[in-house]
């Protein structure tokens, strides 16, 4: 099934949901934050408030959706995305690298913008640095990102560099996602780190028996939510080829994450429970399978390259030097 482009033409958003469950048993470990632990909250329900937990945050989901694009064994994008622009960085240790796809802040990575190798910074300055006053040109930013790091057009970027219009270039996420669990209950357990040699040893140095507490959760339902901002993508000055590539890439990322990326933590290994559901536009659009999307993506990448939307060569190479 090809992508039903006509079903998306007048839609501002594409909203998707997937029901999940633990792959074994009933317990799962939600994400935690250093200053508050588990994100627990209440939501309105038909018969009163419902206890909820955030299983995976929007910022973490962005990183996970990017991770499916990368082939660590080849140190490049997966085969189906060959030709998609990104920035490759050789690090100080021979053989070690990073890149704008796996870096948490994409092009705003210090390994890209704070290097003595100013290959990328100079290109950005050439195109974006003449806006010290007045509104920044986000359409020009979109063109630059398409040429250098197309992935950022989906997951957003904040170029917090004074040299670039005083650090005012920001592009919000066009693809956002999160996972939450409904009607949760804590599942408390614990254990002991045993020291059979010296049970009463100094715990501060790692000796002795150390008991610990652990809280996991059970839930009536776990749902992954995906929001693709079609209006934002259409606002990019990239033409039909660029627009269709970004939509197809977003759908492929979602499919691949749900198939291969649901082992979020050791104690949070999930699996889809049913099918990926379109909630908007309801009954008007079906998401193609991973295989079908992988059939379309190479042609869309080739179209973007031939129309000059992507840079040539697509991979910008630099070295991190300090």
Nearest to 129, CA basis, from 156, 166, 158? 166
Average pLDDT of span 241-248? 98
Nearest to 316, CA basis, from 84, 140, 125, 74? 84
| Phi/psi of residue 164, nearest 5 degrees | -110, 85
Long-range contacts of 123-132 (CB under 8 A, 24+ apart): 123/148, 123/316, 124/159, 124/161, 124/164, 125/163, 125/164, 128/159, 128/164, 128/165, 128/169, 129/163, 129/164, 129/165, 130/165, 131/165, 131/168, 132/165, 132/166
Average pLDDT of span 81-106? 92
Question: What confidence tens digit (pLDDT) does each residue in 275-304 have?
Answer: 999 999 987 799 999 999 999 999 999 999
Question: What confidence tens digit (pLDDT) does each residue in 252-271 have?
Answer: 999 999 999 999 999 999 99
pLDDT at site 132: 67
Question: What confidence tens digit (pLDDT) does each residue in 34-83 have?
Answer: 888 899 999 998 788 999 999 999 999 999 999 999 999 999 999 999 99
Task: Report H helices in the chain.
Answer: 58-67, 110-113, 119-128, 138-148, 152-155, 230-235, 239-260, 290-306
Nearest to 106, CA basis, from 60, 146, 155? 155
pLDDT class for 92, splitting at 50, 70, 90? Answer: confident
Query: Could you tell me if 150 and 178 are in contact, meaning their C-beta atoms sit under 8 angstroms apart?
Result: no
Average pLDDT of span 165-186? 94
Indicate the pTM of the whole model: 0.93
Strands 86-90 and 315-319: parallel
Instruction: At 30, list the tokens.
Output: 């939600």
* Gyration radius from the chain CA atoms: 22
Question: What confidence tens digit (pLDDT) does each residue in 130-173 have?
Answer: 766 668 889 999 999 999 999 999 999 999 888 888 889 999 99
Mapping DSSP onto H, E and C, the string for 249-287 reads: HHHHHHHHHHHHCCEEECCEEEEECCCCEEEECCCCCCC
């Amino acid at each position: 099934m090809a992508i039903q482009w006509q079903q998306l033409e007048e839609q501002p958003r594409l909203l998707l949901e997937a029901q999940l469950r633990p792959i074994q048993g009933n317990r799962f470990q939600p994400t935690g934050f250093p200053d508050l632990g588990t994100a627990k909250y209440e939501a309105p329900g038909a018969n009163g408030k419902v206890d909820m937990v955030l299983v995976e945050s929007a910022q973490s989901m962005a990183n996970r959706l990017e991770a499916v694009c990368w082939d660590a064994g080849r140190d490049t994008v997966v085969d189906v995305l060959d030709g998609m622009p990104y920035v490759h960085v050789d690090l100080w240790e021979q053989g070690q690298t990073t890149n704008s796809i796996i870096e948490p802040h994409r092009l705003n990575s210090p390994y890209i913008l704070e290097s003595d190798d100013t290959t990328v910074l100079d290109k950005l300055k050439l195109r974006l640095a003449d806006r010290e006053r007045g509104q920044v040109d986000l359409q020009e930013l979109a063109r630059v990102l398409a040429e250098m790091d197309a992935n950022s057009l989906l997951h957003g970027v904040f170029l917090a560099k004074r040299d670039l219009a005083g650090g005012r270039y920001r592009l919000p996420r066009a693809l956002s996602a999160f996972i939450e669990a409904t009607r949760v209950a804590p599942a408390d357990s614990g254990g002991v780190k045993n020291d059979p040699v010296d049970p009463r040893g100094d715990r501060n140095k790692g000796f002795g028996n150390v008991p610990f507490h652990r809280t996991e959760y059970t839930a009536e339902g776990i749902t992954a939510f995906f929001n693709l901002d079609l209006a934002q993508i259409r606002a990019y000055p990239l033409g039909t080829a660029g627009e269709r590539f970004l939509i197809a890439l977003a759908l492929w990322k979602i499919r691949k994450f749900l198939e291969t990326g649901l082992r979020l933590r050791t104690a949070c290994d999930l699996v889809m429970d049913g099918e990926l559901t379109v909630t908007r536009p309801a009954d008007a659009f079906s998401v193609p399978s991973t295989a079908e999307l992988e059939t379309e993506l190479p042609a869309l990448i080739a179209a973007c390259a031939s129309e000059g939307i992507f840079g040539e060569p697509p991979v910008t190479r630099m070295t991190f030097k300090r």
